[in-house]
Structure 1
Amino acid sequence: MAHILNVPLEVVLQITSYLTTPEYGYLRRTCKQLEALLFGAFTKEFFSKRQFALVEFSIQALVDIAKSRLGPSLTHLIIHLEHPHNTVINSSSVEKAVQHNQYKAECVNHLEFISSGLDVDMLSDAIKHLPNLETIGMRDFHSLNRSRDGTLWHSHGCPTFVRKTQYRLAIPAPTIPYMGNYRGDRGSEYTSHVFLTILRAIGNAAVVGCNPKLTRIEVLLHTCQFPDQSFKIPDRFDDQISSVLSKLTTIFLDNLMEDEHQEPLFFVRDVGDKTEPARGVGYFLSRFLVKLSALEHLRLNFQSYKPRAVEHVLGWLADAKQDSTDPTANPVDSIASANVRLPLVTPLDMELTAPYAKASDSLPVYFPPAPYFPKLRALEIGMAVVQESQILAVFERYKSTLRRVGFHKTTLSCPVATKFNPWARLCNKMAKADLKLEMLGLSYVKQTSGGTPTRNGEVTFRGSRNKYVKIWRGSTFSRSIKDMIEDMESRWDDISDNADDDGLSTLLGSVAMFLLLLTTEAESMDDDEDDDDDDDDDDLDDDDDDDDNIVI
């Protein structure tokens, strides 16, 4: 052992990179000197970024880690959406019956855990002991970027539980048009619960002055939907949560969903139309975003938004529909309407509960006054159908500070019979708008022309390693963007009637999603090995970036 202690640290780290996680643990425990020598590299690899599930045994492990000497190392905390959920009974043998009982017991415990408020208490306790926490996130997938062992990064404690019970943990199933929630679980309601739990936990920690470095929230979702009601903050928690939100500089919001079951959460009165009620799409999202006064980097992925709904949200961000003459369009009334109570009381009761019922006496205003975001430097818009005018209006509002822009799987809507490259025209207009951009990223962008028949197309880039991705960086955007435009190749599909039956197309897409989900759930329980090291299970690579979007 004395010989290896004399080897330069760089060489030792190179040697240990070839070891499996259990072997690495054995080596660390051979002597105190070697453990101390490797401690810094070990904590950076395994404890700078950690993933846990909102399950009691996993969060208890987080509490233990936070209160140990490893706590200061954790800068990025991820809460995964997997959780025990009722499953098919399979008790063909005593062993299977025992495994089923173990899983069922955890299902009961989990329901108690999330319904009693214990999840908030334990997560708050852990976060209070993470002095260097910078980022907290929520996701529904396991990272593929684990270099050691050639496997996935799992939530702490979950592989052991799955191997012991032989039952996989569930992930909230999305609501599929015409089919609903096929699995019968809480679906997006659970996603909303986890998000609010995270907000309450960081709010509780902020009250006692913890986590001064926390400036990022990242919601990265591949399949789970993120409905608008997720952004509804209860009155009693609003002050402490708002104090945290006002200090955030970065927020990623993925798989945004209009509303549950394709029904409007609220009917509202649009400032631009004082006669007809409108669907309140983005009602709570807008009231959430206005609290982010220090925001520097905003990502909005509108997977489950219709084009008209995206238009409303982008128009609000661009301040395109504000009417200063409207007496109801003031910050107090608009923001207060976020906590509107539906009129479920009798006229007699209304006299006693007037302060609570007052907000529902008339239609609430659609959006609060648009946020200014005086520090906004980076804006990403993904998985949406947008119009050129909407994008330019948003850029015009924030161009004094905006320096980085990204479009990911975004479709540009064009007039009927368009034949030119709409993305090239957008880039030219961005250059003429005198934007001071330092970076522009385009990945998997497309275009569509309205009318019947519709035409769709895509953009590729010559000379790129990935022909669908192009990232420009520089300091002279207006002069240099022509090089990016010259590399664009816009291809339109042949003219055909793509609108044979919109309802049938949606239904077929829903069936395809349903079959994909079934296939995913039927996969064998691979990569669920446990670590023999005393730190248990699996962790996250610090270099992990599985959020699908390009990084700007």
Structure 2
Amino acid sequence: MPLVDLPPELLLRISAYLTTIELGNFRLISKHVENTIFDSFAREFFTKKQFMLEQVSLQALVDISNHPTLAPRLAEVVISTHVFPSDHELATPCGKAMYEAGYASHDVLLATGQALNMLSDAFSKLPNLRTIGLRDYNGRGRFRDGDLATWKSWAWSFGWEDMSAYSPAGQFLRPLVLISPEAILPLVFYALGQAKVSPESVHIFLRKHARLTPRSFDILNGYLGEKVRPVLGEIKELMLAIGPDTPQSYFRSDPSNGHGPATDAPLTRLLERTPKLETLRLNFDPRQSFAARFLDWLGDPVSGQAHPSTSLVTQPVLLPRLSALELGMLSISADVLLKVLTKFDLQSFSLWKVTLDDVSESGEEDHWQPLLYDLAAALPQSTRLKSVLIGFPSHTCRGVVPFRSGPRLEDPVFFKPIGAGAEGTYNTSDLAQEVKHHAGPGTSMKVWLEELSTRTIVKRQEDISDVSDSDEEAIHDDIEDDEDDEDDENDEDDDEDE
């Protein structure tokens, strides 16, 4: 039987085993083959795409937005912090190709506003755009090209295709460099505002050292500030990775001394204009005091009618629809953390690499135990809380003053196995640094949190060698979305404890 006469299900089965290059050739066999596998091809390669702030890459985004069939399929656009290296002497194939094609460099695109206009033009023609992302890495999940293949930015290999050392998988060739993400987020928001497009989700995943700074959220002022407000008003999911305002701001001040209006106001003013927000994820940097000050503000109760702030003095925020809160990579006092977790009517929360900064020379040995107990007591009987994840908790070592300059010393907190309780016996190898729980029908999160408080145990720095390191590979810098790029689903286990 000729290949073109095979039933559609067999053609789709065959296409699943082909590499990307082979799949492209397979589509050229006939119109029948192309029509049969096009939906599968478009769903895999055009539902979510990553682009660089380079002319050749942004032009591809514009071309996709002008395509009558592909434009409606593109639901998630990711902007990468990767760019081509500066190459004024045409020392690389990429630099030579850029020059011969007459393309402007990324710094010219940003300085002249061309990047803003190209993004705005593309966004305005994507009718089903639901998610905007920013990242500094290539996502996993491109299995058809091998276990090491990743989803790279469009045009990442520009100028290198004809080189003998070129590798389609890109495992050895890295012609890209990274730029700071600080100014990219305002650029994306201004482009959305200019295009009058309001996606539901904003995902910022940054694994390198460069993070967003508080200045990245100063998007409500200036010429385009008014156009950003409608965009913020429709956001339901906001995931941010925030670093220090400046390198000198590490250990700058104790959060108990009050807020820092000049640095805190941009983010607080942004959140004030997200009344539909349902999910908030904040990954910080544990070397800064901004996180503690910001969360202290976030947990403040709202008295009377809340009004958007118009100055550096911001008012408490209500966030009436917030149901999921995820916090990672920060140092905070137990009182502030408890205040934040109990202010909102949450259905789930995650705490990843959170350090409690309450310990003094005469303090208690474990501040996580009373925190979990107090949280269980503070939750109402009618709580909607159903899902909790706590990973790699710690607290400042005894005698170490929080936010003072110098290296931070932290004692890790572990969880004893179920049934061990306060007096139960257990093996050291059974200790875990990550627990998660999903309360099923007829079960109570209050009971589980209270029981978990009896299973916390501190291991001093000199004792942690006795603990099994079997979970070491599970440590990530951030709370992050590990479904990566094959699809938009994030299937989490509903098991009660792990």
* TM-score computed with the length of structure 2 as normaliser: 0.76
Which ranges of structure 2 fall in alignment gaps of 5 or more residues? 164-172, 402-408, 419-428, 465-483, 491-498
Identify the residue that residue 81 of structure 2 maps to in structure 1: 81
- The CA deviation at 1:200 is 1.1
Quote the offset at 1:127 in angstroms: 0.9
Amino acid corresponding to residue 437 of structure 2 in structure 1? W
Q: Is the 8 A contact 1:52 1:80 kept in 2?
A: yes
Q: Which residue of 2 aligns with 1:430?
A: 375
| Number of the residue aligned with 1:440 | 388
* 2:317 alignment partner, SS class: coil
1:195–1:452: structure 2 CA closer, same or farther, 3 Å change rule? closer
2:439 aligned to which of 467, 474, 480: 474
Counterpart residue identity of residue 542, structure 1: D
- Aligned equivalents of 1:278 and 1:482: distance in 2? 35
Structure 2: which amino acid aligns with 1:481? L
Q: Contact 1:78–1:137 at 8 Å: present in 2 too?
A: yes
Partner Cα separation in structure 2 for residue 387 and residue 99 of structure 1: 50
Distance 1:284 1:237 in 2: 15
CA contact (8 A) 2:244 2:285 kept: no
Q: How big is the shift at 1:460?
A: 5.0
Q: Distance in 2 between matches of 1:53 and 1:154?
A: 10
Q: Secondary structure at the match of 2:357?
A: strand
Question: Aligned residue for 2:201?
Answer: 216
Counterpart residue number, 1:194: 184
Secondary structure, aligned partner of 1:145? coil
SS at match of 1:371: coil
Asked whether 1:241 is paired with 2:209, we answer no
Asked whether the equivalents of residues 460 and 489 of structure 1 are also in contact (C-alpha less than 8 Å), the reply is: yes
State the alpha-carbon separation in 1 of the partners of residues 24 and 94 from structure 2. 29
Q: What corresponds to 1:66 in structure 2?
A: 65
Which residue in the other structure is 1:251 paired with?
A: 238
Residues 97 and 158, structure 2, Cα contact 8 Å, conserved in 1 = no
Equivalent position to 1:386, from 312, 328, 332: 332
Tell me if structure 1 keeps the 8 A contact 2:11–2:36.
no
SS at match of 2:229: helix
- Give the whole-Å Cα distance in 1 for the aligned partners of 2:416 and 2:53: 42
Whether the aligned pair in 1 keeps the contact of 2:417 and 2:431 (CA below 8 Å) is no
Aligned partner (choices 137, 140, 143) of residue 136 of structure 2: 140
Q: In 1, are the aligned partners of 2:4 and 2:32 still within 8 Å (CA)?
A: no
DSSP 3-state at the match of 1:406: strand
Structure 1 residues 423-453: Cα deviation after superposition (integer angstroms, max 9, x where no partner) = 3432222221124311001122222234259
- Distance verdict in 2 for CA 1:199–1:371, change over 3 Å: same
Question: Secondary structure at 1:218's aligned position in 2?
Answer: strand
How far the C-alpha of 1:482 sits from its partner, in A, is 5.1
Equivalent AA in structure 2 for residue 379 of structure 1 = L
Q: In structure 1, what is the equivalent of residue 460 of structure 2?
A: 492
Q: Distance in 2 between matches of 1:491 and 1:225?
A: 31
C-alpha spacing 1:304/1:124, structure 2 compared with 1 (3 Å): farther
In proportion to residue count, which structure has more helix? Answer: 1
Counterpart in 2 of 1:409?
A: 353
Partner of 2:153: 155
CA distance in 2, matches of 1:171, 1:292: 30
CA contact (8 A) 1:443 1:470 kept: yes
Aligned partner of residue 267 in structure 2, secondary structure: helix
Mapped to 2, the partners of 1:112 and 1:465 lie a distance apart of: 56
Which residue matches 2:421? none
What's the CA shift for 1:279?
6.7
Q: 1-side partners of 2:329 and 2:70: how far apart?
A: 38
User: What's the CA shift string for 1:24-69, capped at 9, x where partnerless?
Assistant: 1222221112211111211111111110111111010011112111
Looking at structure 2, the residues matched to 14 and 488 of structure 1 have their Cα atoms a distance apart, in angstroms, of: 50
In structure 2, the residue corresponding to 1:385 is in which secondary structure?
strand
* Partners of 1:544 and 1:491 in 2: CA distance: 37
Corresponding position of 1:309: 290
For 1:533, the equivalent position in structure 2 comes to none
Map Cα deviations across residues 140-189 of structure 1 (whole Å, 9 max, x no partner).
Answer: 111122211021111001123455698722102xxxxxxxxxxxxxxx4x
Following the alignment from structure 1 to structure 2, what is the Cα–Cα distance between the partners of residues 246 and 158?
34
Using the TM superposition, give the Cα deviation of residue 468 of structure 1 relative to its aligned residue in structure 2, in angstroms. 3.6
**Percent of matched pairs sharing the same residue:** 25
1:98-128, Cα deviation, whole Å (9 max, x unpaired)? 7654467889532221111111111111111
Is 1:336 equivalent to 2:321 in the alignment? no
Higher relative contact order (CA 8 A, sep 6+): 1
C-alpha separation in 1, matches of 2:57 and 2:175:
15
Q: Once structures 1 and 2 are overlaid, which stretch shifts more, 191-200 or 161-170?
A: 161-170
- Aligned partner of residue 389 in structure 1, secondary structure: helix
For residue 227 of structure 1, what is the aligned residue in structure 2? 213
Equivalent position of 1:179 in the other structure = none
| SS of structure 2 residue aligned to 1:51 | strand
Judge conservation of contact 1:462–1:489 (CA < 8 Å) in 2.
no
Q: Is the contact made by 1:461 and 1:470 (CA closer than 8 Å) also made in structure 2?
A: no
For the 8 Å contact 1:225–1:304, the answer to whether it is kept is no
Partners of 2:5 and 2:230 in 1: CA distance: 49
In the alignment, which residue of structure 2 is the partner of 1:14?
13
Instruction: Specify whether residues 246 and 90 from structure 1 end up closer, same or farther in structure 2 by C-alpha distance, changes over 3 A only.
Output: closer
Q: Secondary structure at the match of 1:383?
A: strand
Q: Structure 1, residues 219-241: CA drift from partner, whole Å, max 9, x if none?
A: 11111221111111233212210
Give the structure 2 partner of residue 550 of structure 1. none
C-alpha distance in structure 2 between counterparts of 1:465 and 1:48, whole Å? 42
Q: Which residue is 1:116 aligned to?
A: 112
Mapped to 1, the partners of 2:431 and 2:50 lie a distance apart of: 30
Instruction: Give 2:347's aligned amino acid.
Output: R
Question: Contact (CA 8 Å) 2:330, 2:355: kept in 1 or not?
Answer: yes
Superposed counterparts of 1:94-105, under 5 Å: 100-102=95-97
Separation (CA, whole Å) in 1 of partners of 2:273 and 2:98 = 41
C-alpha change, 1:100 and 1:248, in structure 2 (3 Å) is closer
Q: Deviations over 1:198-232 (max 9, x none)?
A: 101111222xxx56xx2000111111221111111
Quick check: 2:393–2:433 contact (8 Å CA) kept in 1? yes
Residues 468-515 of structure 1, C-alpha deviations (whole Å, 9 max, x = no match): 43221115211233565566554232399xxxxxxxxxxxxxxxxxxx
Deviations 1:291-328 (A, max 9, x none): 1111110011111652x4322111100116x899xxxx
C-alpha distance in 2 between matches for 1:455 and 1:409: 11
Give SS of 1:410's match. strand
Amino acid aligned to 1:158: W
Say how many residue pairs are matched: 430
Q: Which residue of structure 2 lines up, in the alignment, with residue 340 of structure 1?
A: none
